[in-house]
Amino acid sequence: MNSDSPTRPYRQSARAEAAQARGERILDAFATRIRDSWFDEIRLEDVAQDSGVTVQTVIRRFGGKEGLIAAMQERLAIEVTLRREVRPGDVTRAVNSIVEDYEEVGDLILRLLAQEDRYPAVRAMTDRGRAQHRAWITQAFVPWLDGLDAEARQRRIDALVVAGDLYVWKLVRRDMQRSVADYRQLMMRMFADAIGADPAEIFNHEPIGVNR
């Protein structure tokens, strides 16, 4: 019997793709649960039911809720990196990518932040997110950071991080219930103030204060 027949690699590939799809469904189900519930309320039975698999499949793939958090963190980090792909100095794209990102996963991250002091696995995820956000802000605005001394550079980065912080999005979009356009325009003004620039000069001459 020829074990190297063309059908065998095909079957192996199909099984791998099916396993990958199951894993993604499980993570999707877990992300939905943690966005709408507290970590200690989530049962593996519910995650399994939501994703159409058995509890044993969830455990075999992820080990438990801590494993699910870790896997979700890795997937989220990749997704955020892709959404926030920006050339240094392209601050219009930087603003748009933050808006995209928060509209996609802002509520999920807020729920995680509300639980970070109770669960080390959640804290590890939010700490990584904060570090990733600060590094990204620094890279996006590097033309306005070069040449500053260490103290001035840190103050400017701090101001930029605050301007692009998730809690600003929550305040504007969720608490005040303002539009995406309102939030974008406010962030543009805050970023411009942080670097001491005229908004019209750094944001491709977009009019500030005009809803889009």
Q: Which positions ≥6 away from 103 have C-beta within 8 Å? A: 173, 180
Contact, 64 vs 44, CB < 8 A?
Answer: yes
DSSP state of 64: S
Residue 209's pLDDT is 36
Q: What is the mean pLDDT of each run of 10 residues along the chain (212 residues)?
A: 59 74 90 86 93 93 90 85 89 94 93 91 90 95 95 98 97 98 96 93 57 34
Helices and strands in the chain, H and E counts? 10, 0
- Confidence (pLDDT) at 207: 37
C-beta of residue 110 within 8 angstroms of C-beta of residue 54: no
pLDDT of residue 70: 87
Does the global pTM surpass 0.85?
no
Spatial distance between the Cα atoms of 209 and 123, rounded to a whole number of angstroms? 37
Name the amino acid, one letter, at 139.
Q
